[in-house]
Chains A and B, each alone.
Chain A
Amino acid sequence: ANEAQVEVLSVTVDCTVTSRFAHTVMTSVALNKANVSQEIFFKVELPKTAFITNFSMEIEGQVYVGEVKEKEKAKKQYEKAVSSGQTAGLVKASGRKMESFSVSVNIAAKSNVTFILTYEELLQRKLGQYEILTRVQPKSLVQDFKIMTNIYEPQGIAFLDAHATFLTNDLLPLVDKTVTDKKAHISFSPTVEQQRKCPGCDGTLIDGDFVIKYDVNRGERFGDIQIVNGYFVHFFAPPGLPRVPKNIVFVTDNSWSMSGRKLQQSKDALVHILSDLHEEDYFAVIKFDHIVLPWRDSLSKATKENVEEGKTFVRKHHPVGGTDINLGVLRGVDMLVKDRQENRLPERSVDMVILLTDGMPVSGETNTKKIQENVQSAIGGKMSLFSLGFGNDVDYSFLDVMSKQNKGIARRIFEASDAALQLQGFYDEIASPLLSEVELRYPDNAVDSLTKNHFNHLFNGSEIVVAGRLTDNDLDNFLVEVLGQGFEEDYKAEGQASTLDQEVPYPNEEYIFGDFTERLWAYLTIQQLLDKSKSGDPAEKVNATAKALEMSLQYNFVTPLTSMVVTKPETEETGPLIADKLTEEERQQAERNRYQHVPPVFSSYQHTYHAPPTQYVDGD
C-alpha cells in the first residue's frame, strides 16, 4: 500500500481443516484515501504444497474473478500480456516452504477494493505431526486483523500447539486456543493498538509465520476411513509398530564444489546421523568425486565401535575432483546387492541408499538420462534410493525422477547455516521404517478411481493416505484390508469403513465444506499424476499429464499445468494477469538467478593439503 494514502481496513485468514485437508481463504480490504486513483498491491504467501483454487477482486461493486485455464492455452490467448512480461511475478518462490502471490490494481479515489485468495492443500504428517503455516505481513496497521483456524478431525486431536515467530509476551495471551475431543479452534485477533511496534508509531509487530502443529489419535490397526458424499479417504499410521532394521549406504559427494561450509555441514550431519543408527542396522559410507572411495567394501553392523570408525572416515578427507554420480551410486547399490547375495544382512530388513550431492555429474557418465537408466537397472526394484540435492547447482529434477524411479524421494537442501539440520531432518523422516511393501485393499466392486494404494514403506511419524470414489453412492460400509511386511512378521489388518455422519462428531455445527473428501481425492490424484508425468514411461507420461490437466480444470486447481487468468478492470489497456504454479525446478532457477551463483568447475587435482605424508608398505 502507498503509505498513508491507503488504509488497510481488514486482513482475515480463515482456515478450515477437515481430516487433514486444509481450505484457506485470505481476504483483504483496502481503501484508497487519496483524491486521485492509485495502484494498490495485494501480496500474500501460501505454502508451496498448496493449489490456488480461487481469486477475486471486488472494485466498486464489480467482482473480477480469476479463471483457471490450461496453461498453454492461457498463454496463447493472452500472448500480448505474456510478451509484455505481465505474467511474470504473479506467483514467485518465497523461501523454502512458501510461494508468494501478488497482484496490483488501480483504484479510484476514495474507493475500496477487496481481494480474496483461496487455496487448498492436504497436510502431510511428518515426524508425527501436521503443520499449518500462515505467513502474515500486513506491512501496516490493520483495523480488523484476524487469523482463524478451525480443525475438524473425526479421529480426535492428540495434541495441538500454536505459536508465531512475531509473538511477544504481550501478544501471546491473544492466541485463543480451544481444543475439544474432535475439534480445535485457534484465533488471533490483535487490535490496532496491540499491533503497534511502539505506542504512537505506525509500524506493526505482525510480520512472520503463524504455525499450528497437531496430531490425531490412532487406534485401529487398519487405520481410519471416512466416507463422505460418495468418496472415501483412508488414513493409515497405526500405533505401536516396531521399527524394521535398515541397511543403509550413504553415498556422499566429495567433489570440489562441496568445499568449505557445505562439506563441513555434510560431515557434521552425517556424523550425527551415524550416531543415531540403531545397533541392529547395517551401514556403509562411500565418498565419491571422479572416483569412489568406500569406507569398507561391505556394510558393517552399527555397533558402537563401527559407528565410531565410520565417523572417523566421514570426518577425514578433503574434497577433490569432479562429480561422478553414476559411479558413486552404482557402487552403493552393488555393495547392498552383494551383501544381500552373501546373506550378510538380516532377512527382514530394509535396504536403502542415500545420495548426497551438490552438483551436476561432470565426470564419468554425464548424461543424466543414462545415469537414471543405469541406476534403475542396477537397483531393479530391490532397494530405495533417497537423494539430497544440496544448493542451487544440482539438477533437482534429475534427482527427483531418479529417486521416484527407485522407491524413494528427493529433497532439496538449502545452503544456509541450518543445512546440517535439514539433512538430519530428512534422515529422521526416513530413519525408522515400520512396514515395507504396504498394500491397502478395497473391494473391487465397491470403489474406483483409487489413488496409489501400494507403498514401499511406512515410516515412523508419517502417514499413508489413500482416497477413492465409491461406485455405489448408497454404499454405507465396506471392508478394507491392509497388508505389509513388518519386523519379525507380516502385517495384516482388516476393518469395516462406515459413512461419516457429521452430526455425530460435530453436532450443531454448520457444515464445513461438504465436498472436502472429493477435493482431497482430486488433490491427491493430481499430485500423483504430476509425479507420474515426470517419471513414468513415455506413454504413461502423456496419459498422466492429460488426466492431471483435465482434473486441474475440473476442480479449479492452479497446478503446473494450469494458469489462473485474472482480468483487471483496465484489461483493455494492459491485458490480464496470469498466475502460474511453480515447479521445484522453476523455484530453483529463480534462486540461482537471485544469487547469480557460478557453479564451481573441476579443472585440476591440486588443492591445499593439511595432513602429514606417510609412505608405507602393507598387505591387502
Chain B
Amino acid sequence: PHFIIELPEKNDALCFNINDKPGTIFTLIKDTKSGVVVNGQTIGDKKIPPDGKINTYFWRFGITHKTLRVKLEVSTSDINVFQDSKWMTMYWSNSISLKGTNMDLHVTKDRSLTVTLKDSVKFVILLHKVWAKHPYHQDYLGFYTVDSHLLSPAVHGLLGQFYHGVEYEVSELRPGEVPEKPDATMYVKGHELNVTRGWQRDFRQDIKNGENVPCWFVHSNGTGLIDGDASDYVVSSLF
C-alpha cells in the first residue's frame, strides 16, 4: 500500500510504501487518549505476477472507538458495525446513510464508506473493485482520514504519527534515475534521507484513474520518516 502525508503548512506531501507479506496487520491509527484504533490487514495478488513483484493492498480494516463503544470491521465484501452491543452487517452493493448519536455512516454503492466518529475523527474508505476474473488482482480498500484534528497529540500509528505535522527540510535537488523524478536530500527526525520527487494517486474523486498528488517519496518502507520501522506497527489482530 502507498501512504500519503499531506502537509498544508509546507504545501507539500510525503509518501512511502509499506510492503510485507500478505496477511500482515498494521496499526494505522492509535490514540490511547481518545480510544481510537484503526488496524488494517493486507492482501496480495491472486498469484505472483509475471514481473515477480509482490504487491500488497489493504483489504480489511478494524476500527475501534473505546470511549464510544463502537467497532467497525470493513472488508472488500461487507461492512460490519458493532454499536449498542450488537453487530449489524451492511453490503457495498447498497447506498446507505445512518446517523447515530456517536457515529454517522454513509455508504455510496460499490464505491465508498464515510465514517464520522463523534468528536474524534472522520475518514473515508474506498472500495476498489477489480474485475472478478482478473488473473492477478483482486478487490482492495483505501483509507483516507479527512478530519483528524480532534485526536490527541499522542496519536500514533503509520498514519496517526503525522496528524499533527512533521518537521523536515529538503535540499540538494539533483537528477534521479528517471528524468522526471529528481532526487533530493531530506532532513527529518534526525535522519538524512535520499528522497525522490514523484507522485501518488488520490482516488477520492476518480476511483478508476485517481488524481496524481506530487510528493517526496521516502524509500525502504518509509525508513527514517516513520518512527521505528514497519515491523513495529505489526499487530496480531484487527481489534
Residue in A320, A607, A615 whose beta carbon sits within 8 Å of that of B162 in the complex: A615
Nearest CB in chain A: distance from B126 CB, A? 7
Residue of A nearest to B165 (CB): A613
Q: Which of B57-99 contact A (CB under 8 A)?
A: 57-58
Does A320 contact B11, Cβ atoms closer than 8 Å?
A: yes
* Cα distance, A327 to B40, chains bound together (Å): 38
* Cα distance, A318 to B57, chains bound together (Å): 30
Does A619 contact B1, Cβ atoms closer than 8 Å?
A: yes
Given A293-B214, A605-B170, A614-B146, does the pair A619, B11 have CB atoms closer than 8 Å?
Answer: no
Residue of B nearest to A619 (CB): B57
Residue in A294, A320, A609 whose beta carbon sits within 8 Å of that of B8 in the complex: A609
- How many A-B contacts are there with CB distance less than 8 Å? 115
Does A617 contact B159, Cβ atoms closer than 8 Å?
A: yes
Q: Which of B198-236 contact A (CB under 8 A)?
A: 198-203, 205-206, 209, 211-212, 214
Residue in B126, B175, B212 whose beta carbon sits within 8 Å of that of A295 in the complex: B212
Residue of A nearest to B206 (CB): A309
Q: Which of A277-331 contact B (CB under 8 A)?
A: 290-296, 300, 309, 312-313, 316, 318, 320, 327, 330-331
Does B144 belong to the interface (CB within 8 Å)? yes
User: Which residues of A are found within 8 Å of B214, using beta-carbon distances?
Assistant: 291, 293, 320
* Cα distance, A605 to B2, chains bound together (Å): 23
Residue of A nearest to B203 (CB): A618
User: Which residues of B are found within 8 Å of A309, using beta-carbon distances?
Assistant: 205-206, 209
Does A331 contact B180, Cβ atoms closer than 8 Å?
A: yes
Does A84 belong to the interface (CB within 8 Å)? no
* Cα distance, A418 to B141, chains bound together (Å): 46
Does B203 contact A613, Cβ atoms closer than 8 Å?
A: no
Does B159 contact A616, Cβ atoms closer than 8 Å?
A: yes
Does A607 contact B4, Cβ atoms closer than 8 Å?
A: no
Given A614-B145, A618-B201, does the pair A291, B11 have CB atoms closer than 8 Å?
Answer: no
Given A619-B2, A619-B142, A620-B2, does the pair A613, B179 have CB atoms closer than 8 Å?
Answer: no
Given A609-B9, A609-B11, does the pair A291, B145 have CB atoms closer than 8 Å?
Answer: no
Residue in A300, A327, A609, A617 whose beta carbon sits within 8 Å of that of B180 in the complex: A327
Does A613 contact B8, Cβ atoms closer than 8 Å?
A: yes
Tell me if B's interface is mostly helix, strand, loop or mixed: strand
User: Which residues of B are found within 8 Å of A295, using beta-carbon distances?
Assistant: 211-212
User: Which residues of A are found within 8 Å of B145, using beta-carbon distances?
Assistant: 614-616
Does B11 contact A616, Cβ atoms closer than 8 Å?
A: no
* Cα distance, A5 to B181, chains bound together (Å): 70
Does B159 contact A327, Cβ atoms closer than 8 Å?
A: no
Does A618 contact B1, Cβ atoms closer than 8 Å?
A: yes
Q: Which of B168-184 contact A (CB under 8 A)?
A: 170, 173, 175, 179-182
Given A318-B11, A608-B11, does the pair A618, B6 have CB atoms closer than 8 Å?
Answer: no
Does A62 belong to the interface (CB within 8 Å)? no
Residue in A316, A320, A619 whose beta carbon sits within 8 Å of that of B140 in the complex: A619
Given A616-B202, A617-B1, A618-B201, does the pair A293, B6 have CB atoms closer than 8 Å?
Answer: no
Q: Which of A455-509 contact B (CB under 8 A)?
A: none
* Cα distance, A205 to B204, chains bound together (Å): 59
User: Which residues of B are found within 8 Å of A331, using beta-carbon distances?
Assistant: 180
Does B55 contact A620, Cβ atoms closer than 8 Å?
A: yes
Does A617 contact B8, Cβ atoms closer than 8 Å?
A: no
Does B10 contact A615, Cβ atoms closer than 8 Å?
A: no
Residue in B8, B143, B147, B163 whose beta carbon sits within 8 Å of that of A618 in the complex: B143
Nearest CB in chain B: distance from A323 CB, A? 14
Does B103 belong to the interface (CB within 8 Å)? no
User: Which residues of B are found within 8 Å of A611, using beta-carbon distances?
Assistant: 8
Given A291-B181, A606-B10, A617-B3, does the pair A296, B144 have CB atoms closer than 8 Å?
Answer: no
Does A364 belong to the interface (CB within 8 Å)? yes
Does B11 contact A607, Cβ atoms closer than 8 Å?
A: yes
* Cα distance, A156 to B49, chains bound together (Å): 67
Does B188 belong to the interface (CB within 8 Å)? no
* Cα distance, A312 to B2, chains bound together (Å): 23
Does B111 belong to the interface (CB within 8 Å)? no
Does A619 contact B128, Cβ atoms closer than 8 Å?
A: yes
* Cα distance, A614 to B200, chains bound together (Å): 13
Does A614 contact B11, Cβ atoms closer than 8 Å?
A: no
Does A240 belong to the interface (CB within 8 Å)? no
A-side interface size class = 20 to 34
User: Which residues of B are found within 8 Å of A296, using beta-carbon distances?
Assistant: 209
User: Which residues of B are found within 8 Å of A330, using beta-carbon distances?
Assistant: 179-180
Does B119 belong to the interface (CB within 8 Å)? no
Nearest CB in chain B: distance from A445 CB, A? 51
Does A620 contact B179, Cβ atoms closer than 8 Å?
A: no
Does B197 belong to the interface (CB within 8 Å)? yes
> Which of B8, B148, B170 has the largest number of chain A CB atoms within 10 A?
B8
Residue of B nearest to A618 (CB): B142
Does A200 belong to the interface (CB within 8 Å)? no
Does B159 contact A615, Cβ atoms closer than 8 Å?
A: yes
* Cα distance, A479 to B115, chains bound together (Å): 76
* Cα distance, A618 to B209, chains bound together (Å): 13
Q: Which of B20-73 contact A (CB under 8 A)?
A: 28, 40, 55, 57-58
* Cα distance, A330 to B180, chains bound together (Å): 9
Nearest CB in chain B: distance from A102 CB, A? 49
Residue of A nearest to B209 (CB): A296
Residue of B nearest to A605 (CB): B12
Residue in A290, A320, A616 whose beta carbon sits within 8 Å of that of B3 in the complex: A616
* Cα distance, A146 to B148, chains bound together (Å): 74
Does A293 contact B212, Cβ atoms closer than 8 Å?
A: yes
Does A85 belong to the interface (CB within 8 Å)? no
> Which of A313, A605, A619 has the largest number of chain B CB atoms within 10 A?
A619
Given A293-B199, A312-B205, A607-B11, does the pair A615, B182 have CB atoms closer than 8 Å?
Answer: no
Residue of B nearest to A611 (CB): B8
User: Which residues of B are found within 8 Å of A312, using beta-carbon distances?
Assistant: 205, 211
Does B11 contact A290, Cβ atoms closer than 8 Å?
A: no
Given A294-B212, A327-B180, A364-B182, does the pair A616, B142 have CB atoms closer than 8 Å?
Answer: yes
Nearest CB in chain B: distance from A178 CB, A? 59
Does B238 belong to the interface (CB within 8 Å)? no
Nearest CB in chain A: distance from B161 CB, A? 10
Does A612 belong to the interface (CB within 8 Å)? yes
**Mask of A110-153 contacts with B, CB within 8 angstroms, 1/0:** 00000000000000000000000000000000000000000000
User: Which residues of A are found within 8 Å of B193, using beta-carbon distances?
Assistant: none
Does A616 contact B197, Cβ atoms closer than 8 Å?
A: no
The 9 closest A-B pairs by CB, nearest first: A618-B142, A616-B144, A609-B11, A613-B6, A619-B57, A609-B8, A613-B8, A615-B159, A291-B197
B residues neighboring A (CB under 8 Å): 1-12, 28, 40, 55, 57-58, 126, 128, 140, 142-148, 158-159, 162-163, 170, 173, 175, 179-182, 197-203, 205-206, 209, 211-212, 214
Sample of 19 more A-B contacts, CB < 8 Å, known A605-B10, A609-B11, A613-B8: A291-B198, A291-B214, A293-B199, A294-B212, A296-B209, A313-B211, A330-B180, A608-B11, A609-B10, A614-B146, A616-B144, A617-B1, A617-B3, A617-B28, A618-B1, A618-B142, A618-B202, A620-B2, A620-B200
A residues neighboring B (CB under 8 Å): 290-296, 300, 309, 312-313, 316, 318, 320, 327, 330-331, 364, 605-609, 611-620
12 contacts between A and B (CB under 8 A): A291-B180, A291-B214, A300-B209, A312-B211, A331-B180, A613-B7, A613-B8, A615-B6, A615-B159, A617-B3, A618-B144, A620-B2
